[in-house]
Amino acid sequence: MKKFMNFGVLALLGMALTFGMTSCSDDDPDYSNVTPPTVELAKANISGMVTTIGGKPIAGAEVTAKLGSTTLSATTNADGEYTLEGLAENGTYTMTATASGKQSVTGSVTVNKGETAAWNTRLSNEATTVSVSQTEETSVEVVTETLENNEEARVTTVTVIPAAAVEEGEEIIVTPVYSTDYATTKAATTKDFMLMGINISCSNPNAVLKAPIKLTFDLTDDVIAQIKPMKEVNGSWVEAEVTEEGEKVVFTVDAFTTYSLFINATLNQNASTEAISFAQAEYDNLYGASEMSVGTATYTYKMGSEIGQHSNLLGAYLAEILAQQMAGSTVKTVNGSYEINVTLPIGTALTLSGKQAVETTSIAAGSTTVSGKSYGKVSVTANTYNRQHNGGTN
């Protein structure tokens, strides 16, 4: 009897377990093919650096981006960095950077959702204003700015203004110029690159020079042979007549415009991309116990430009031109963020990948070549999937 009862208990227990397992199997949802969420494209950002011509950061510079009626602004931090976040509209934004004691710069950058666009710029020293004497000549000396540790490329310019060159009370304004962005057009040929220039203007925009001004660039013989003197006339660059006094190139300034020295060189550019690094690139809820919220993903990328080594004076000048073309000479690793804002159901996962545009540029004149690299826009891709590895992607 006791054996029969034990057998009955075991039989009942087995039936209960079988029934329970069947019941659980019927009630559990099938997580193998759960529809994963689609990640919407995040709003665009613009980031960059504002530096001096030498590459030192400018703190407190104001950067604005404008598209139609939309205007955003940011102030650079102690490292000269800024970020304009949450741009809702795609398009080409007009950019402006200003700082105390510096010339303002205007440019443009194209922005698309899901990207962090790059806009870097360098601000040069502001102009020098000269009060013109009616009885004696006046001179002003301007030393061009150069990259840090590239002081050999500095050029001293001297502007000699004769007595009564303009009407009494009018002032002459001497402004250093470092690229053709200052003017309305580029040089006559795409292989002519501005090394340096001086813009001569008057406080009275309608003034006419009553006597020519002497503008001197102090160079060296080996570089003079590479130089093409030009001036801007009606928005175009034309060759200018100059005289040479030893190692000096002398312009006779007979009109208010920009007088510059160009170097004939070959510029090569190659575009590529580099992967960016995420703090967390994978969010796995394929076999989780509850929903998983994913908010903001953080990553690191590079900001700015860097210039390689050079071995002679011509290379020093080419490095300056290269910095103009790449709008900088300083590179930093910085942090970025990307808004994900999705909830992953059980049975789904999300992976992140990203890339940054990189442009390698080289400039050559004669047997001298200088190369550099600039880092551009960052784009992020989010891929969601389920256990069968299909689903929304972005």
Q: Label residue 25 by pLDDT band (50, 70, 90).
A: very low
Higher pLDDT, 7 or 130: 130
Compute the average pLDDT of residues 32-53.
Answer: 94
Higher pLDDT, 10 or 292: 292
Closest CA to 205 of 161, 134, 256, 140: 256
* Least confident window among 30-34, 210-214, 318-322, 340-344: 30-34
**Does residue 300 carry a pLDDT above 90?**
yes
Can you name the residues that pair with 65 across neighbouring β-strands? 72, 95
Instruction: Confirm if 195 and 228 have CB atoms less than 8 A apart.
Output: no
* Least confident window among 17-21, 236-240, 261-265: 17-21
Main-chain phi, psi angles of 109, to 5 degrees: -150, 140
From CA 264, how far away is CA 261, in angstroms rounded? 10
Tokens of 169: 């009370």
Q: Label residue 387 by pLDDT band (50, 70, 90).
A: very high
* Least confident window among 56-60, 151-155, 289-293, 388-392: 388-392
Query: What does DSSP assign to residue 152?
Result: G
Averaged confidence pLDDT in the chain: 89
From CA 156, how far away is CA 238, in angstroms rounded? 23
What's the predicted TM-score (pTM) here? 0.85
From CA 312, how far away is CA 236, in angstroms rounded? 32
**Does residue 282 carry a pLDDT above 90?**
yes
The enclosing H or E element of 2 equals helix 2-27
**Does residue 350 carry a pLDDT above 80?**
yes
Locus of tokens 């102030």: 75
Compute the average pLDDT of residues 147-169.
Answer: 95
Q: Mind giving me the DSSP string for 320-339?
A: HHHHHHHT-S-EEEEEEEEE
Locus of tokens 């050559």: 364
The answer for residues whose C-beta is within 8 angstroms of residue 208's C-beta and 6 or more apart is none
Tokens of 257: 């415009």
H helix runs in 192-297, sequence order: 221-224
The full set of domains in the chain, from first to last, is: 128-265 (2.60.220)
Q: What is the pLDDT of residue 88?
A: 85
Closest CA to 218 of 183, 262, 261, 253: 261
State pLDDT tens for residues 206-233. 999 999 999 999 987 777 888 999 999 9
State pLDDT tens for residues 85-127. 999 889 999 999 999 999 999 999 999 999 999 999 999 999 9
Q: Label residue 378 by pLDDT band (50, 70, 90).
A: very high
From CA 325, how far away is CA 320, in angstroms rounded? 9
Closest CA to 159 of 202, 207, 96, 120: 202
Locus of tokens 């040479």: 244
Q: What is the pLDDT of residue 394?
A: 53
Q: What is the pLDDT of residue 191?
A: 80
Residue 210 gets the label, from left (phi > 0), alpha (psi -120 to 50) or beta, of alpha
Instruction: Confirm if 375 and 305 have CB atoms less than 8 A apart.
Output: yes
**Does residue 11 carry a pLDDT above 70?**
no
Tokens of 299: 């990553």
